[in-house]
Structure 1
């Protein structure tokens, strides 16, 4: 396994990539609205949020409250319609689509409920994608190491359709972490898995997050998963209605 995948940087708010006291995420009066046949809908209505480097934050709240929209804005997959947003020192509103793609490549890992693997690519090829985009000559070597780290050394040449749901999500985890991102965004990562399989996947996610000192934002409806984070942010009706640190017993 390459040395960089074995490296264990400091965790906590001063974790990987921290060069000063600036937060990794800084949102001020962030809003997002859409206009449909029924008129204007305000999905986010003035969100203020600061996330320190290395934090693990659970984002909770009812369906339709704006959690996934917030994640899409943080990833640069949607553009805010108001307010300011800085992630990893970058003002996302100032970027064009090419710059946003490079920003995601260099800073983010994303894990979705539905895996989002390319069905015509093997597990190895799926994990190598972000490294190939970055022009890494060792893309497949590092991808193989990442798959070994999630227990899938025996599945390198298998296609997503040949893998179980839990195996597909482990491939997605390997892909998300292979470039050692500053920020991991996870949207209901166990939503399509049974409880036992989901617990194993989350054990891996938190283990890898600790190994790399990655900042984690985890959207979940599962209180037990949210409680594994250091902090919980509750979203309701497009606003942050509670923000509390969790204190270990």
Structure 2
């Protein structure tokens, strides 16, 4: 694991609050979250539905603005960035993997993985995309469209796309939620292997305590608050 004393933490949250308007009035989604994640750490986030897990991920990714508090990601104050700057920061430093894959249906697997690299101006976008798809075992599926791929293959394309720019932070929100048990285990083995190989900081949102236990640390969120943070168990 990277020495956190030598570099800025991958994530630092200070007294984070998020309140949203709802039909019955204002709802406190996050209620004073404090969290520091050293660079290179894998953190599993567990808790009941509605506890604020996915909202926390969205705030860290800069896809949701907190009501108050501070969010630092890779040494950058996210609150100081406008929407365009946030988009550029995510492009260069943050990978996100969702439960629903979010692949572009009119693009091949190779094109889907190349997209963020092209946005970053990489001339080797397609060469890197091909190499990353090879790394996830899909070198034979470069020209296939998402509709021609199984759910597990689509999620592996999504992982390849997230890891291709070599992000400093990877956020994964229930990445096996749409997969059967065996396929989900294969995808998670791949996720942890890529995390280890690239040294990427990983935050994994999951309902599965066994997956959280594979991380360096497991964090429990309930009612918008971190109620427990304990070491995980090495896989």
State the TM-score bracket (shorter-chain normalisation): over 0.9
1:221 and 2:207 matched: yes
Structure 1 match to 2:119:
133
Structure 2 unmatched ranges of 5 or more: none
**CA RMSD, Structure 1 to Structure 2 (Å):** 1.3
**Closer, same or farther in 2 for the Cα pair 1:160/1:248, shift >3 Å?**
closer
* Residue of structure 2 in register with 1:73 after alignment: 59
Q: 2:12 aligns with which of 26, 29, 48?
A: 26
Partners of 2:65 and 2:167 in 1: how far apart? 21
Query: Is the 8 Å Cα contact of residues 214 and 234 (structure 2) preserved in structure 1?
Result: no
Given that 2:212 and 2:232 are in contact with CA atoms closer than 8 Å, whether structure 1 keeps it comes out as: no
The offset of 1:19, in angstroms, is 8.5
TM-score normalised according to structure 1 size? 0.92
1:203 aligned to 2:189? yes
Q: Which residue in 2 is equivalent to 1:42?
A: 28
**Aligned twin of 2:162:** 176
How far apart in 2 are the matches of 1:132 and 1:19?
A: 34
Per the TM alignment, residue 37 of structure 1 is displaced from its structure 2 partner at its CA by 2.5
1:53 matched to 2:39: yes
Measure how far apart 1:38 and its partner are: 1.3
> Which of 87, 94, 108 in structure 1 is aligned with 2:73?
87
- Aligned-partner SS, 1:137: coil
Which 4+ stretches in 1 moved above 6 angstroms? none
Question: Which residue number corresponds to residue 2 of structure 2?
Answer: 13
Q: Give 1:137 deviation, angstroms.
A: 0.3
Unaligned stretches of 5+ residues in structure 1: 1-11
Distance (Å, rounded) in 2 between the aligned partners of 1:62 and 1:76: 23
- Matched residue of 1:181: which SS? coil
The SS at the match of 1:26 is strand
Number of residue equivalences: 235
